Structure 1
């Protein structure tokens, strides 16, 4: 089991308030039953045979639930893990990516993971609610870098070539912070693709969470990891909070 790398106690104790917008309410998990509900939603969203999706990182994270205020139904869940400096190497993402180049970042970092939305709910307000909660936490805790794995359904890269070409053309990490290859099976899209992206197709196949990251000035790794256990492809994704455009910051604060 990984060691608690940095400030998880501070994260658990931070004064993160409940956020309520329209018909949805976002709150931190307070009981084991709350975490188990999140794990059950994750299993359904990821198409797992098990009743719950759980791993050793759950104990190090703060779990966030977004519920329908009227019914109490869980519509979205994700987890947050504080990291700093050498602690980047023991987060979930570090299983798949060599993050040593990110050691140049000296501030507070936060890994967002296991982000999932109930498949039958296609309401964009859910994603806005999630980012509103994250924004409030970032500002209350001085987080300077957001990071995570952005997943594509399935393990075949062919359907996403325009998306990967678009990422190569516009959204690669700064060279001095580019994560290095660590996973056994990867698709090195930046090195292999020579095509000009069809922007419309690229955006059509881009996961909503990744689009949100990129709209804030986020960047990605130059390769995608083939994760056959979760039946996904994913790219490492990060956002320098200080570099988010001011107009976008105002929108995020409005949701918080």
Structure 2
């Protein structure tokens, strides 16, 4: 972890939230970062129904890449189980991205709209929750913590990739079409999938969308983002390495403070 990132981490130690036996905060040690990477491996590569990929770190049973040393690792810890990391998020600021060669999303989408945007941006990535804890509570805890983070660092826009697991486009034609017609980002903040690497999300005419099937096709994380007013970029990235289809999600930070969100946070009060 870089020295500059350690300084920001010290500021973040004050943002520690606890609900019963669960605590959400920034990882403050190498061991906690490693635990987050191990969780990511179990979720993304461990046979839990998610994408499976082999990497140079496969033998170590961790998921790690060049971005990890420059980001903040947000973790949810179960204090009743020897401080087990049960959920995590990876946060990359514009300054961190400049140090590691860009945002992770840039490998899949043209993110020049974020480069040109004058406000503060934050990339959210590698979101995962232990299968034993996949309830609304863990996601709400992460969102509630992020609300404090964006206020402390004056973040205006958050973005990142959300995955549909599998690469058969037909399996997600209703959900992807719905995202295109109902949740497309405004033109000035609309990333586009890189040419030759993606698929058109407008797979069906709007009047032909089966909304019940779209609900079934939509990943839980994507549903959560939509509940807080998220919008999406144009086109979806076909990731054969990770066996998934990614969409670029954009969340305006002020949406985390809207009154209607209170009902989603009640479980964490």
Whole-Å Cα distance in 1 between the matches of residues 84 and 128 of structure 2?
14
Q: TM-score of the superposition, structure 1-length normalised? A: 0.87
Alignment of 1:1-256 (within 5 A): 8=5, 11-16=8-13, 17-47=15-45, 48-49=53-54, 50=58, 51-71=61-81, 72-83=83-94, 87=98, 90-182=102-194, 184-190=196-202, 192-195=203-206, 196-242=208-254, 246-248=258-260, 250=262, 255=268
Q: Which residue of 1 aligns with 2:50?
A: none
Q: 1:35 to 1:183 in 2, by over 3 A?
A: farther
Is the contact between residue 96 and residue 183 of structure 1 (CA under 8 Å) also seen in structure 2?
no
Which deviates further from its counterpart, 125-134 or 197-206?
Answer: 197-206
Q: TM-score, normalised by structure 2?
A: 0.83
Q: Aligned to 2:69, what secondary structure does the other structure show?
A: helix
Q: What is the distance in 2 between the residues matched to 1:250 and 1:58?
A: 32
- The separation in 1 between residues aligned to 2:195 and 2:104, in whole angstroms, is 13
Count of matched residue positions in the alignment of Structure 1 and Structure 2:
249
- Quote the Cα distance in structure 2 between the aligned partners of 1:55 and 1:112: 15
* Deviation by residue 1:9-36 (Cα, 9 ceiling, x = unmatched): 6632323421111331112111211111
Greater CA deviation, 239-248 or 89-98?
Answer: 239-248
Equivalent residues of 1:217, 1:245 under 8 A apart: no
The alpha carbon displacement at 1:253 in A equals 7.4
Give the conservation status (yes or no) of the 8 Å contact 1:146–1:239.
yes
Unpaired runs of 5+ in structure 1? none
- Whether contact under 8 Å (2:22, 2:79) holds in the other structure is yes
Task: Output the aligned Cα RMSD.
Answer: 2.5
